[in-house]
Amino acid sequence: MSYQLNQFDLLKGWLSLDVVSYILIYLAINLPFIWIFYKNHLNKKKLYMHIFTVFILFPIFIISFFSFSLAGTGWQLEGNTLYLKLPKSSFTIDDIHQSNFYLVDMTGEWKAVYRINGSGIPGLKTGIYKMKNGEKTILFQYRNYPTGLLIEQSDNLFVISHPSVENLHKCLQNKVKNKNV
């Protein structure tokens, strides 16, 4: 059982947030530059080329770069071992039978408020985060899904949150139940 993001999933993550806000911020940053070029009497062809480069090509390049560099991010469950693959590092939960796991609300006390180490793009948060309740966790959150799976193992806390996290929770419960029978 696994959940890994491909380029298309990452593009959906970029577009899942309020796109209008990003466009307005982007315009606010770039309009002074366009105004300067316009005031310096550049001909219209150069002005249109600059507008095309700044507003079309640059965003496409940035989104494509992050989509390809973050592809493969996710988790994989093999036997009793859960592998968490993040862009800057990977983590392994060796024996899920020695771990506690709970479904938590990602909009309440387990909301990520501060990134300590990791990467974050619109719709995807990965790495070590400080949560609203003050705990430091290793986080994989895709598309700001409101439910997360909290896994406690020795000194580490892991939080996995994506649209099908309930299936992982059920699978882990079944594995623990089958071992105890």
Looking at residue 167, what is its pLDDT? 93
Tens digit of each residue's pLDDT (9 = 90 or more) over 85-118: 988 788 998 888 889 999 999 999 999 999 999 8
Phi-psi region of 56 (alpha: psi -120 to 50; beta: other; left: phi over 0): alpha
Mean pLDDT in residue range 134-158: 92
pTM of the model: 0.75
The answer, yes or no, to whether residue 14 has pLDDT greater than 90, is no
State the Cα–Cα distance between residues 86 and 156, nearest whole angstrom.
16
State the Cα–Cα distance between residues 10 and 91, nearest whole angstrom.
21
The answer, yes or no, to whether residue 180 has pLDDT greater than 70, is no
